[in-house]
Structures are given as structure tokens and as C-alpha cells.
Structure 1
Amino acid sequence: MTTFSISAVVLLGILLVVFIRNKSIKLGYTLLAVLFGFFLAKTSAAAPIQTFLTQIATTVNQITH
């Protein structure tokens, strides 16, 4: 069995590009979301969010194996 891992940042970046190209999301909203994420990463909320996302990834990984 082969395990494939991809960074959440890369995955979200790909999704943003797809949404922009399909005109599902406008460039201004995309920039707002990117800036929000950038500044959110500098707050004390970053650690709990990272823990939550890690737990979700672990759970999904256990379900798929």
C-alpha cells in the first residue's frame, strides 16, 4: 500500500487557483482570505487550529486504512 501525503497549504492553494479560474470566487475575496489566514497564523488561535486540523487528518487517515 502506498501512502500519499500533501500539505494543507498546497491543497488549499490549488483549490484557490481552481476557484479563481472557474470564476467561483473573485480575486478580491481570495486576497482577503489569504490575508486573513496570514494574520490569523500570527495569533494565539494558530496552535489550537493546527491541533484541530492534525486531529482531523489523523482521523481521516485511520478511516482510510
Structure 2
Amino acid sequence: MAITVSLVALFGLVLIFLLRSRSLGYGAAFTAAGFGFFLASTGAAEPINEFTATLVQALPNL
């Protein structure tokens, strides 16, 4: 739960930055899509949450 809230905040801040700088591209689209999935908690959110949790757990091992 704490990871999800943190990722929503992170995606939200990045999305605001990208919108203010008027940079449109694949990065902005990915950020907006990620923000939408985490915020809306659709059926696709559970696999995305599991994937990001796995990534967060794998980072210390790098």
C-alpha cells in the first residue's frame, strides 16, 4: 500500500512537470498512463502493482 501511494505521488509530480514544460512524447504518455492506472485501480492495476513491487524488491540486488 505504501509503495502504491508513493508511486502515485511520484507519477503525479512527473506528470505535472512534463505538462508544464510542454514536452509531449513517449515519456509523457507512459507517465500519464501509469498515473491513471495507479489512481483508478482498474483491473489492470493489480498486475502493474505486482510488477512495480517486484521491481522495487529487485533494486537492492543490483
TM-score by length of 1: 0.57
Deviation at 1:58, TM superposition (A): 1.1
Higher helix share: 2
CA RMSD of aligned residues (A): 3.2
Q: What is the CA–CA distance in structure 2 between the aligned matches of 1:14 and 1:63, rounded to whole Å?
A: 27
Q: Tell me, what secondary structure is at the counterpart of 2:10?
A: helix
- Unmatched tracts of structure 2, length 5 or more: none
Give the equivalent residue in structure 2 for 1:46.
Answer: 45
Quick one: structure 1 residues 51 and 9, their matched pair in 2 at CA, closer, same or farther if it must change by over 3 Å? same
Q: Tell me, what secondary structure is at the counterpart of 2:23?
A: coil
Deviation at 1:24, TM superposition (A): 0.5
Number of matched residues? Answer: 52
Identity %: 25
Give the equivalent residue in structure 1 for 2:11.
Answer: 12
Residue identity in the other structure for 2:14: L
Report 1 or 2 for greater relative contact order, CA contacts < 8 Å, sequence distance ≥ 6: 2
Greater Rg, structure 1 or structure 2?
A: 1
Deviations 1:24-44 (A, max 9, x none): 03xxx87xx4695355x221x
- Unmatched tracts of structure 1, length 5 or more: none
